[in-house]
Chain A
């Protein structure tokens, strides 16, 4: 991984800053307009979870190279309350009322790779990747 940037997320205007950075990094990698929109939306969702549940945290945006493959990695880290039931958090909740409504299932659908670590009382780390096809 290279060229990583970290943005401290402490208020809703930081969400826009993170989103714009993600879009810029994605554009440099030559992602399509649809992919850039997806990247910006995913950053928005993850950064908003930080604000709502942990009050503050970091968004890390990096580029990744794996052989000939190039991609973007977006990581959201916080020291908030953590997610007690990750299984429940990964259920689609917007229309059905199931799940926690964190938007995580949608984020997983939009990206190529999705990882989540969370410990109650210690924090949450969500890391997602999108490869340039």
Chain B
């Protein structure tokens, strides 16, 4: 199942809606890196609320996605990690160090807007 990517002003929002195969996740990866350039986006939100697990592959893929998007000049926020998923990730030894996270989409957008405004001032 492909992940829809919505453009909202300066941001791209990718909402993961169901369990993803590795291939879907890699497709999302390429699509986002490309669309950030196409839409000159300043930020990306990946909403993982519907993801019932985050295993090592998903974590690794998200981590590299965030770094690639960063190289393309945009920030990423991952939002909606469920409590059980967070618990399991930590036990498994998976971390998202250096990556912005937010409770939900609303918080994620707020976080991007704040960091974007700060950049503009500089």
Contact = CB atoms under 8 A, between A and B. Distances in A.
Contact of B93 (A36, A38, A92): A92
A94 B52 contact: no
A103 to B, nearest CB: 5
A68 interface: no
B5 interface: no
Interface residues of B, number: 21
B19 interface: yes
A101 B84 CA distance: 23
B53 A44 contact: yes
A73 to B, nearest CB: 19
Contacts, number: 69
Interface residues of A, number: 27
Interface in B39-96: 52-57, 82-85, 87-88, 91-95
30 contacts: A12-B22, A19-B19, A19-B53, A20-B19, A23-B52, A33-B84, A34-B83, A34-B87, A34-B88, A36-B84, A37-B52, A37-B82, A37-B88, A38-B91, A40-B52, A41-B53, A41-B55, A44-B55, A44-B57, A45-B92, A48-B56, A92-B93, A94-B56, A95-B95, A103-B55, A103-B92, A106-B91, A106-B92, A109-B92, A110-B88
B17 interface: no
Given A106-B93, A106-B94, A107-B92, 16 more contacts: A12-B22, A13-B21, A19-B19, A36-B84, A37-B52, A38-B84, A40-B52, A41-B55, A48-B55, A48-B56, A94-B95, A95-B95, A101-B56, A106-B91, A109-B93, A110-B92
